[in-house]
């Protein structure tokens, strides 16, 4: 059963602020309320725990039972109060003192609360605002080994160089699963503007026994790599222009499955170093994502990145076999050429799922494609961009584009007609065929066309509400039915 937490306040005479009297913990669906938390013996609480009806008709349990709520319920109630979205960095940056005070208020309710909630409070640390904050963070870890054992997600900026004491502290954070590091503007750079990463950091990071995801910003170049380590690494976030040399060797050594590459600097790198190809370990990578990186890339970077990846994939004797390819075009560049190159990369890598996102409307997709193309490996196509053909009601032309994917089973598109946006109610209530044909004729026509394909699922994504409407069918012999997820 879900629970909610509310503060109760003592009444005043109107002259002062109300004082907090305790907590009201409501279990939804039962009406059970635990009023203020008091320290009493458990045996007394159990004897006094008799249900009765209050004036509102809700079932009330004696207050003495409240301190003995199960640990998992206490964690569930207070976790949203001490982890406030972007808030993290518990006390390591001066800018976070207000949030830190809020968290400490809950941590200091009792020793039990402190022991239960402190690991949650320290599970994610972000220290990116000052060199002093980063230094204090690592000093805390050096003086308190328990702190390092709680941190699962760590994000920080290196404002000068990466000193040996940082490496020693990092190696003590044995619970880290996600590590994100910005090496800052003062890190030494090579001719391609990549930050040089010293061996002290790599050696410390390679020893983290639970590390699954590594995010390196800006593009980096490794002077050397550890002979062993990174045995649990699954995800690497970096930049395309960094995937060569020692970093490429590290990818092969660790067999990373999920590769997220920023396209920043790809065009300049291709101009100045045309002989260099990204050394992607295609036989190990299952998911590849290309998109703007931490810096603002120029519009031509995405074209260059796709060209480099395509050449790299075609250079392998055995074609790659991606499970998913995601391409994000963050600029209003030549959309037709970018989309065509992304489709070519999907074919060259035999991607089973192809996701494409853009801030600009996709052009006439049928005109974009080469003569009678066939993308036989794609089984899932997700287009998170306005589609001109559907906006203009040209469903037949869009259907001819879909036919280029003969084995397509799942299709997702953005609102199918800008003149008739799909609002929230559309995603809550099932529409009859008559309502669908009169209120959403483009969607109705699209569903009718898809009945003659292998597509079993259509998702329509709302730009306004960020929700989806879903039509599904068991196989090609039956009609689509709207369902709710």
Most confident stretch, 35-44, 177-186, 345-354, 365-374:
345-354
Tens-digit pLDDT profile for residues 217-248: 888 888 888 878 898 999 999 988 888 888 88
Centroid of chain to Cα 83: 17
Task: Give, to the nearest 10 degrees, the angle between helix 395-402 and helix 441-450.
Answer: 30
Report the C-alpha gap between 173 and 208 in whole angstroms: 7
Query: Given this model, what pLDDT does residue 38 score?
Result: 34
Tens-digit pLDDT profile for residues 185-194: 877 888 777 8
With a cut of 70, say whether residue 251 has pLDDT above it: yes
273-297: burial string, b at 16+ Cβ within 10 Å, e else: eeeebbbbbbeebebbbbbbbeeeb
The lowest-confidence range among 104-108, 396-400, 422-426, 449-453 is 422-426
Is 170 within 8 Å of 125 (Cβ atoms)? no
With a cut of 80, say whether residue 110 has pLDDT above it: no
202 token code pair: 């790599």
Tens-digit pLDDT profile for residues 154-206: 999 888 777 788 888 999 999 999 999 998 887 788 877 788 887 888 899 99
Report the C-alpha gap between 462 and 418 in whole angstroms: 10
The lowest-confidence range among 90-94, 398-402, 460-464 is 90-94
449-467: burial string, b at 16+ Cβ within 10 Å, e else: bbeebebbbbebbbeeeee
Write down how long the chain is.
485
The lowest-confidence range among 81-90, 277-286, 438-447, 448-457 is 81-90
Q: Is 4 exposed, middle or buried (0-12, 13-18, 19+ CB in 10 A)?
A: exposed
Is 271 within 8 Å of 242 (Cβ atoms)? no
With a cut of 50, say whether residue 402 has pLDDT above it: yes
Question: Which has more pLDDT, 361 or 34?
Answer: 361
Contacts of 70 (CB under 8 A, 6+ apart): none
pLDDT tier for residue 378 given thresholds of 50, 70 and 90: very high
What percent of the chain is predicted at pLDDT more than 70?
Answer: 73
Query: Given this model, what pLDDT does residue 425 score?
Result: 57
With a cut of 80, say whether residue 11 has pLDDT above it: no
Report the C-alpha gap between 212 and 230 in whole angstroms: 8
Report the C-alpha gap between 135 and 283 in whole angstroms: 40
Dihedral (Cα; 224, 227, 229, 233), 10-degree rounding: 60
Tens-digit pLDDT profile for residues 450-475: 998 999 999 988 776 667 889 999 98
pLDDT tier for residue 30 given thresholds of 50, 70 and 90: very low
182-212: burial string, b at 16+ Cβ within 10 Å, e else: bbbeebebeebebbebbebbbbbbbbbeebe
With a cut of 50, say whether residue 416 has pLDDT above it: yes
């Amino acid at each position: 059963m879900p629970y909610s937490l509310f503060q109760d306040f003592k009444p005043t005479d109107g002259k002062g602020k109300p004082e907090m009297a305790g907590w009201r913990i409501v279990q939804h669906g039962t009406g059970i309320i635990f009023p203020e938390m008091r320290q009493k013996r458990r045996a007394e609480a159990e004897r006094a725990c008799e249900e009765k009806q209050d004036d509102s008709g809700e079932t009330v349990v004696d207050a003495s039972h409240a301190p003995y709520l199960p640990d998992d319920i206490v964690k569930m109630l207070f976790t949203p109060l001490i982890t406030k979205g972007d808030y993290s960095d518990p006390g390591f940056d001066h800018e976070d003192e207000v949030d830190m005070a809020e968290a400490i208020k809950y941590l200091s309710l009792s020793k039990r609360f402190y022991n239960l909630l402190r690991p949650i409070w320290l599970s994610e640390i972000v220290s990116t605002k000052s060199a002093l904050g980063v230094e204090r963070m690592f000093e805390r870890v050096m003086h308190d080994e328990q702190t390092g054992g709680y941190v699962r997600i760590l994000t920080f900026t290196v404002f000068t160089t990466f000193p040996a004491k940082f490496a020693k502290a990092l190696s003590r954070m044995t619970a880290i699963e996600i590590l994100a590091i910005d090496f800052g503007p003062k890190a030494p750079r090579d001719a391609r503007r990549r930050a040089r990463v010293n061996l002290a950091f790599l050696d410390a990071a390679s020893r983290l026994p639970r590390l699954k995801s590594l995010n390196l910003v800006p593009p980096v170049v490794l002077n050397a790599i550890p002979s062993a380590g990174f045995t649990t690494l699954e995800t690497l976030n970096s930049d395309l222009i960094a995937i060569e040399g020692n970093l490429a060797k590290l990818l092969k050594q660790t067999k990373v499955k999920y590769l997220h590459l920023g396209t920043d600097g790809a065009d300049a790198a291709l101009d100045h170093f045309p002989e260099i190809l990204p050394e992607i370990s295609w036989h190990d990578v299952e998911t590849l994502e290309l998109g703007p990186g931490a810096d603002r890339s120029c519009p031509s970077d995405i074209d260059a990145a796709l060209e480099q990846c395509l050449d790299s994939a075609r250079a392998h004797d055995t074609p790659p076999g991606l499970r998913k390819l995601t391409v994000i075009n963050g600029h209003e560049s030549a959309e037709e050429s970018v989309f065509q190159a992304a489709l070519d990369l999907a074919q060259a890598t035999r991607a089973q799922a192809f996701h494409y996102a853009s801030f600009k409307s996709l052009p006439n997709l049928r005109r974009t494609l080469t003569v009678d193309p066939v993308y036989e490996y794609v089984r899932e196509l997700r287009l998170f961009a306005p589609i001109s053909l559907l906006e203009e009601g040209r469903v037949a032309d869009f259907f001819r584009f879909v036919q280029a994917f003969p084995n397509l089973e799942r299709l997702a598109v953005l609102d199918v007609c800008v003149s008739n946006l799909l609002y929230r109610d559309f995603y809550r209530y099932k529409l009859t065929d008559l309502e669908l044909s009169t209120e959403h004729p483009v969607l109705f026509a699209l569903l009718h066309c898809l009945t003659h394909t292998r597509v079993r699922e259509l998702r329509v994504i709302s730009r306004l509400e960020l929700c989806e409407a879903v039509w599904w069918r068991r196989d090609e012999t039956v009609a689509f039915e709207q369902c709710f997820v």
